[in-house]
A and B are shown apart, each in its own frame.
Chain A
Amino acid sequence: MANNRVLQWAVMARTWWIYDANLQCPFRSSERIITYLKGKHKPIYHPFADIGDHVVVFNTRHVAMRGNFWRTFKHFNHTRYAGGFSQASAWRVHEMDPTRIMEKACYQRLSGLPMKKTLMARLHLYPDEEIPQEILENVSGQIRQVQVVPKKLEDYTEEEIQNFPRLFEWPENYDVESYQRENQQEPDQHTTKKWRLD
């Protein structure tokens, strides 16, 4: 075949993928993302071959953790000096850098690979919808999300809420409001003292 050489370029070409992290679990998402970073979705995959793809992740500010994980999931750091250990709960880390949760989740799942820093350099994280044009124009495919994006109460119209089937209606004089607790910041039990803001 005359175009064999060009075909081989196409086989080895690095493609770009995009992933929408809106309301997605960062841990399950990272499992899917590192498949593309390592090139495991290709039939020519080999662990010694550097054939991973680029992945652009946006909306990392809007990732969703299950259960109590925003409070209890911790990020650790040690400066290697005596007493240099510190830890911060996920919500605090997220507050400081909205791409950090996603980055760390991917980096931890690449452990054991000598290539992991090279692969992480191919992961492009953006906190919101805005992606630079020079990045976006490379993208040729999209990775499917890991879970359904739930519809929020704000997304329903007033009419839909009124017409939703209900078993009974609250009495006119029933007090719903006073049971709602005031939204105040709790003391962060899981973060090292120097990271705390209060």
Chain B
Amino acid sequence: MSNNAIPRDFVKNVLQNGVGRYVCQLKRITFRFCKSHGGSRHMRDFIENNLLEFTQKNPGVVCYLQPRRHRPPSVVAEFLNGRREVMLLSGKEVPEICKWVEHMRTRSGVQIVNMIQNNHTETPSTQGIWHPFMFRDSEMAATEFPSKKFSQIQVTGKTATDLVLEEQLKVSSSESSDSHIEGK
């Protein structure tokens, strides 16, 4: 899909549609056909047999019929967001025309594009984006590297040597207090 003619964009949709109630985004649909040419034969069949049912089911959609002499059949869909889509239907049989008309009725009107990326936001973080000095100890800015303070592993608890030295301190202090009492 490396065709530059196909637009590429981030994913978009009419997300508010259907939150309260569903609003059909198709505003107007125009069927363009020739009254005499063989290419518009299936389109004429569609108009004769299926169009009335479509209009009765969708009172919110305006249907126009536009006969054009010796031109291929097409359908023009206009949406609430102001976009207008033309689809050529020459050689398409009645069931397929029904399918494309249904496709236009259920569309959001947003242009079909190649997606650049699945992830996108229109509302970036208010806290600001990450940078290498975020969450870094600000003292590092004034430190000359290599520094022993930021190199040492942070240990919690005591080693066996620490415990032995503590015991020795306790013993020596109690001895000194004893000797103090004796001296009294």
Interface residues of A (CB under 8 A from B): 7-8, 10-11, 13, 15, 18-20, 42-44, 58, 136, 139-149, 164-165
For chain B residues 94-142, which have a beta carbon within 8 Å of chain A? 128-133, 136, 140
Add 19 more A-B contacts to A8-B129, A165-B168 (CB < 8 A). Answer: A7-B129, A10-B131, A10-B132, A11-B130, A13-B132, A15-B132, A139-B146, A140-B133, A140-B145, A141-B136, A141-B150, A144-B151, A144-B152, A145-B152, A146-B153, A147-B153, A148-B152, A164-B165, A165-B167
B150: nearest residue on chain A (CB-CB)? A142
A-B contact pairs, 6 of them (CB 8 A): A58-B146, A139-B146, A141-B150, A144-B151, A144-B153, A165-B167
Q: How far is the CB of B138 from chain A (nearest CB, A)?
A: 12
CA of A10 to CA of B129, assembled, Å? 10
Q: Which residues of chain B are within 8 angstroms of A10 by Cβ–Cβ distance?
A: 131-133
B167: nearest residue on chain A (CB-CB)? A165
Chain B interface helix/strand/loop/mixed: loop
Q: How far is the CB of A44 from chain B (nearest CB, A)?
A: 6
Query: Do the beta carbons of A140 and B140 come within 8 Å of each other?
Result: yes
Query: Which of A7, A139, A146 sits near B145, CB closer than 8 Å?
Result: A139
**B contacts with A, residue count (CB < 8 A):** 22
Query: Which of B131, B140, B147 sits near A7, CB closer than 8 Å?
Result: B131
Query: Do the beta carbons of A18 and B146 come within 8 Å of each other?
Result: yes
Q: Which residues of chain B are within 8 angstroms of A144 by Cβ–Cβ distance?
A: 150-154
Query: Do the beta carbons of B154 and A43 come within 8 Å of each other?
Result: no
Q: How far is the CB of A14 from chain B (nearest CB, A)?
A: 9
Q: Which residues of chain B are within 8 angstroms of A139 by Cβ–Cβ distance?
A: 145-146
Query: Do the beta carbons of B130 and A141 come within 8 Å of each other?
Result: no
Query: Do the beta carbons of B151 and A44 come within 8 Å of each other?
Result: no
Query: Do the beta carbons of B146 and A142 come within 8 Å of each other?
Result: yes
Query: Which of A15, A44, A143, A147 sits near B130, CB closer than 8 Å?
Result: A44
Q: Does B164 contact A (CB under 8 A)?
A: yes
CA of A64 to CA of B130, assembled, Å? 36
Q: How far is the CB of A6 from chain B (nearest CB, A)?
A: 10
Q: Which residues of chain B are within 8 angstroms of A44 by Cβ–Cβ distance?
A: 130
A147: nearest residue on chain B (CB-CB)? B153
Query: Do the beta carbons of A42 and B154 come within 8 Å of each other?
Result: no
Q: How far is the CB of B80 from chain A (nearest CB, A)?
A: 33
CA of A20 to CA of B152, assembled, Å? 9
Query: Do the beta carbons of A148 and B131 come within 8 Å of each other?
Result: no
